[in-house]
Amino acid sequence: MAEPATPDGGLFFSVVMPAYNEEAVIEKTLLDLTDYLDKEGFHYEVIVVDDGSADRTGAIVASVSEQRPQVRCVRNEGPGGFGFAIRKGLESYQGEAVVIVTADGADAPKDVAAYFRKIEEGFDACFGSRFSGGAVVKDYPKLKLLMNRASNMFLSLVLRRRYDDFTNGFKCYRREVIDAISPIVSGQFNITIELSVKTILGGWKYAVVPNDWSEREGGASSFNVVKLIRPYFVTLIYCMSESYIKRVRR
């Protein structure tokens, strides 16, 4: 599918937002995001991937899209899970670059705009860091923070990169990067590792910017950091093995 032309020849961006039972927060998240991106003058679409919600998430998104046509909803009818929902969104987006955001409002609209500007500057990807200077993090659970810092330190050492937030799913990629690192195989939160590690091992040029994070205002998160340790490790081995095989075949 061809990307839509923009009035001034600028880049057309996509936002992919997986959502599961987010009726308590999805409307505010969408309104805050679209208000900000409109104010900043970006050309964009927002794809909400309804990951089999049993509540009014889909109906609320449909209501928002009636007033804001840049918002559309697709339903993930296949296996459920954060990674599967993102993969569904990556099958549907039309932009020249895509950013992945959560539906709970934890990712700040101003940071989405900052990512887009880095892509406009010529970077292939933009990664956020919630733990570098300039980032504001509110109410991050202590156990989750401890596990996060340990896992990201391990990834930084193994990959020999001075980056401290691989597990942050809030990142932006040019279409060329997504095409090059496909197929994406992760079905759960380990997709955050797969996307970023494949991008780094592929030699793509990425920028790192501080990004704010705040605890969700409503609903419940399905994120469980303890259960993700093994999938994260397996995904890392998979990505490194794939990268090695590609180098050997060249």
Q: What is the pLDDT of residues 146-191, one digit of tens each?
A: 888 888 899 999 999 989 899 899 999 999 999 999 999 999 999 9
Q: Tell me the C-alpha distance between 13 and 137, whole Å.
A: 26
**Is 52 inside a domain boundary?**
yes
Q: Where are any strands of DSSP class E within the chain?
A: 12-19, 43-50, 71-75, 97-100, 125-129, 137-138, 171-174, 206-210, 213-214
| Cα 105 to chain centroid, rounded | 13
pLDDT at res. 136: 82
49-53, 161-165, 211-215, 239-243: range with lowest mean pLDDT: 211-215
Tokens of 53: 């919600």
**Is 143 inside a domain boundary?**
yes
Domain extent for 179 = 12-249
Q: What is the pLDDT of residues 96-124, one digit of tens each?
A: 999 999 999 999 999 999 999 999 999 99
The DSSP call for residue 102 is -
Q: Tell me the C-alpha distance between 209 and 141, whole Å.
A: 22
pLDDT at res. 2: 46
**Is 84 inside a domain boundary?**
yes
**Is 182 inside a domain boundary?**
yes
Phi (first) and psi of residue 240, to 5 degrees: -70, -40
The CATH number of the domain holding residue 43 is 3.90.550.10
In the chain, how many domains are there?
Answer: 1
**Is 1 inside a domain boundary?**
no
Q: What is the pLDDT of residues 40-66, one digit of tens each?
A: 999 999 999 999 999 999 999 999 999
**Is 5 inside a domain boundary?**
no
**Is 2 inside a domain boundary?**
no
**Is 3 inside a domain boundary?**
no
Coil, helix or strand at residue 229: helix
Coil, helix or strand at residue 22: coil
Omega cis (within 30) before 183: yes
C-alpha distances out from residue 171 to 58, 175, 203, 248, Å = 24, 13, 16, 29
Q: What is the pLDDT of residues 121-154, one digit of tens each?
A: 999 999 999 888 777 877 777 777 788 888 889 9
